[in-house]
């Protein structure tokens, strides 16, 4: 059996581990779980380190459980948060859970033969009929307030570093998470909880609850991965436009691919270990090759390819590469026509945009449109000169006559026109 802890160590994915965890993992197949609250209908790449831990766990022969916090998602976790999160209703939580299940299935094998097939559980199933009196008797009596108060996540919210204090609801979160571990320990023989390092306090509460409830000889452990940051110290997974989501409707495969392609050299070396299943020999060889010619961005390219295929598909990767070539390489009108609207906007997000009434585009000569309505060219004379030299294109097709009339058929998705000046200057005209 492959050593899971060693696998995490060389990948830079191990932060804290309880004594005895590695010995247990080497002795037998272990069932381990990781929890995520369904606060949105998609995971984002900030969740990926935890999901990859489960993936590596399964590849090492152990059984992964992904717990969707239908119950705890109704409350909110104070860990790493400066203010209380909004509470979600049952319908929204169920929708989010189903979406997350589909995404996680791309990383874990739920149909594996043998005992280590992945499972998904929802803590709402065992919490929905759990009364407050049950909770007070079964959980509350085993854990002291002193113990709970000592946790860093609680302290930060109480000592004034956070703006709005800590509600009783949130204070109980660590007990609810602890009860999840106790329930899974009893129902599924789950002996290990995985999570991000900000969860360490909640996770150790779980192991403590198991010991105090079932006896000190019980074996329950916790293991965390570090919180991933970028080389400049900023939070990983955040861009100026917000989160990078796994859902293609929130983040297109093209934008997803571009995110990984554009990480720094230092980050690429770190991320390729964490976010792919490539073995050590392959990664070491890629790092060496990258160092010989960093400008070729071997690491970034391989990282972007692996993660895009894993989260989306090979077809999506090819589309993303083709879309990238539209800006930076040779491509044709056919390549443009293949793009859906959102990908088109993502590809040309950084080029000048001109919004013009559709009636002012259709039936107008290109020379009028591109000098008067959208000042792509400073003058008609300059546009004529560039057109003669083959330096003007519309929708990736060279314009032979500046007086060519724009028709409805020229509009991409019925509303976009791509003008090009020379090889690299693009302008997007949007019909309103």
Residue that terminates a domain, selected from 159, 190, 225: 225
Tell me, rounded to whole angstroms, the distance of Cα 259 from its chain centroid: 11
In a domain, 400, yes or no: yes
Residues 322 and 254 in one domain: yes
Any idea what DSSP says for residue 246? Answer: S
Number of domains the chain contains = 3
Residues 195 and 316 in one domain: no
Residues 382 and 404 in one domain: yes
The boundaries of the domain holding residue 262 are: 238-329
Residues 249 and 203 in one domain: no
Domain CATH code at residue 315: 1.10.240.10
Contacts of 86 (CB under 8 A, 6+ apart): 76
3-state secondary structure of 306: helix
Please tell me the predicted confidence (pLDDT) of residue 163.
60
420-424, long-range: CB within 8 Å, 24+ apart, which pairs?
420/392, 420/393, 420/394, 420/396, 421/376, 421/377, 421/386, 421/391, 421/392, 422/386, 422/391
Residues 173 and 28 in one domain: yes
Q: Are strands 221-225 and 190-196 parallel, antiparallel or unpaired?
A: parallel
Residues 306 and 372 in one domain: no
Residues 310 and 358 in one domain: no
Residue that terminates a domain, selected from 198, 225, 252: 225
Give catalytic residue positions. 39, 44, 47, 81, 85, 177, 198, 235, 238-239
> What is the phi/psi pair of residue 331, to 5°?
-150, 170
Look at 222 and 350; give whichever has higher pLDDT.
Answer: 222
In a domain, 372, yes or no: yes
Residues 174 and 268 in one domain: no
Mean pLDDT of 337-342: 86
Mean pLDDT of 202-229: 93
Please tell me the predicted confidence (pLDDT) of residue 425.
86
Domain CATH code at residue 394: 3.10.290.10
In a domain, 233, yes or no: no
Any idea what DSSP says for residue 406? Answer: P
Mean pLDDT of all residues belonging to the chain: 88
Please tell me the predicted confidence (pLDDT) of residue 299.
97
Task: Note whether 4 and 57 are within 8 A (CB).
Answer: yes
Query: Tens digit of pLDDT for each residue in 276-324?
Result: 999 999 999 999 999 999 999 999 999 999 999 999 999 999 989 888 8
In a domain, 345, yes or no: no
In a domain, 347, yes or no: no
| pLDDT surpassing 70 at residue 350 | yes
Q: Are strands 190-196 and 31-36 parallel, antiparallel or unpaired?
A: parallel
In a domain, 338, yes or no: no
pLDDT interval class at 159 (50, 70, 90): confident
Query: Tens digit of pLDDT for each residue in 403-432?
Result: 999 988 889 888 899 998 887 788 999 998
Domain CATH code at residue 60: 3.40.50.620
Segment among 38-52, 66-80, 253-267 with least mean pLDDT: 66-80
């Amino acid at each position: 059996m492959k050593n899971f802890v060693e696998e995490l160590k060389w990948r830079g994915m191990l932060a804290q581990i309880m004594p005895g965890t590695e010995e247990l993992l080497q002795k037998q197949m272990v069932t381990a779980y990781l929890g995520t609250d369904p606060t949105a209908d998609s995971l984002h790449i900030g969740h990926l380190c935890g999901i990859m831990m489960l993936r590596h766990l399964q590849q090492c022969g152990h059984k992964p459980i992904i717990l969707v916090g239908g119950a705890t998602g109704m409350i909110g976790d104070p860990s790493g948060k400066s203010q209380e999160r909004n509470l979600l209703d049952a319908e929204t939580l169920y929708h989010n859970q189903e979406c997350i299940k589909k995404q996680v299935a791309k990383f874990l094998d739920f149909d594996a033969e043998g005992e280590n097939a992945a499972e998904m559980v929802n803590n709402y199933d065992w919490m929905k009929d759990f009364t407050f009196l049950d909770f007070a008797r079964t959980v509350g009596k085993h854990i002291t307030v002193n113990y709970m108060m000592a946790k860093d996540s609680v302290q930060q919210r109480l000592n004034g570093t956070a703006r709005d204090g800590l509600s009783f609801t949130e204070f109980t979160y660590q007990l609810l998470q602890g009860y999840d571990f106790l329930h899974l320990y009893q129902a599924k023989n789950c002996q290990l909880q995985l999570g991000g390092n900000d969860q360490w306090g909640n996770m150790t509460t779980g192991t403590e609850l198991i010991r105090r409830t079932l006896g000190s000889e019980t074996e329950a452990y916790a293991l965390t991965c570090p919180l991933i940051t970028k080389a400049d110290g900023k939070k990983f997974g955040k861009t100026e436009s917000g989160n990078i989501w796994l859902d293609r409707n929130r983040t297109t495969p093209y934008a997803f691919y571009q995110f990984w392609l554009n990480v720094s050299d230092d980050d690429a070396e770190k991320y390729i270990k964490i976010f792919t299943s490539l073995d050590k020999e392959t990664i070491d060889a890629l790092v060496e090759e990258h160092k010989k010619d960093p400008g070729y961005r071997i690491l970034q390219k391989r990282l972007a390819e692996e993660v895009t295929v894993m989260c989306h598909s090979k077809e999506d990767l090819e589309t993303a590469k083709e879309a990238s070539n539209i800006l930076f390489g040779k491509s044709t009108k056919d390549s443009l026509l293949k793009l859906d609207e959102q990908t088109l906007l993502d590809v040309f997000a950084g080029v000048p945009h001109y919004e013009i009434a559709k009636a002012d585009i259709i039936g107008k000569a290109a020379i009028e449109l591109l000098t008067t309505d959208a000042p792509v060219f400073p003058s008609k004379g300059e546009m004529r000169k560039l057109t003669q030299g083959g330096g003007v294109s519309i929708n990736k097709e060279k314009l032979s006559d500046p007086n060519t009339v724009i028709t409805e058929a020229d509009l991409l998705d019925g509303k976009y026109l791509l003008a090009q000046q020379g090889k690299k200057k693009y302008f997007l005209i949007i019909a309103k």
